[in-house]
Amino acid sequence: MQITKEIEWDMGHRIPNHKSKCRNLHGHRYKAEVCFEGSLIQEKGSSSEDMLIDFQDVKQILIEEIEEVCDHGFMIYEKDSILVDFFNKNKDFKHIIVPFIPTAEQISKWIFDKLEKRYAAVYGKNLTLSSVRLWETPTSTAIYKK
């Protein structure tokens, strides 16, 4: 069985070495779709009986791991010295420093890795995160699968 859940947030970034305008500061309305696989819960009388996982439980972790971390923040590559210096001097601006260039491809993998650890810690082997699809624009997506 598979289920999916989506979450949206606003975030800025830049691609420092990009040949075109994406090297400039800009932002997107990101959307991520997370897909889970597993077996239905068979515990009779359980609140989650015949579900893979309660969608509210999925939503809560997405809010904690993605929205609260990223929404209205600026994602910065740790070796982008121009922006790292700026945000170090202006710590009251929300920013997320990451060890990769914040492309859609890398952000989708980062989200997958964060969520895989969190859901495994809570739900064990009964639930598997199978993919994260990230929309950077309404027509451009990156999909990460393990």
DSSP, residue by residue, 61-79: HHIIIIIHHHTTEEEEETT
To the query of whether residue 33 is one of the catalytic residues in this protein, the response is no
Which residues touch 54 (CB under 8 Å, ≥6 apart)? 47, 48
Q: Where are the domains of the chain?
A: 2-73+102-145
- Residue 27 Cα distances to 60, 100, 106, 136, angstroms: 24, 17, 16, 9
Confidence of residue 89 (pLDDT cuts 50, 70, 90): very high
> Which fold does the domain 2-73+102-145 belong to in CATH?
Tetrahydropterin Synthase; Chain A (3.30.479)
Side chain identity, residue 133: R
Confidence of residue 141 (pLDDT cuts 50, 70, 90): very high
To the query of whether residue 136 is one of the catalytic residues in this protein, the response is yes
**127-144 mean pLDDT:** 96
To the query of whether residue 43 is one of the catalytic residues in this protein, the response is no
**Looking at 49, 68, 72, 78, which residue is catalytic?**
72
Question: Cβ of 43: how many Cβ atoms within 10 Å?
Answer: 10
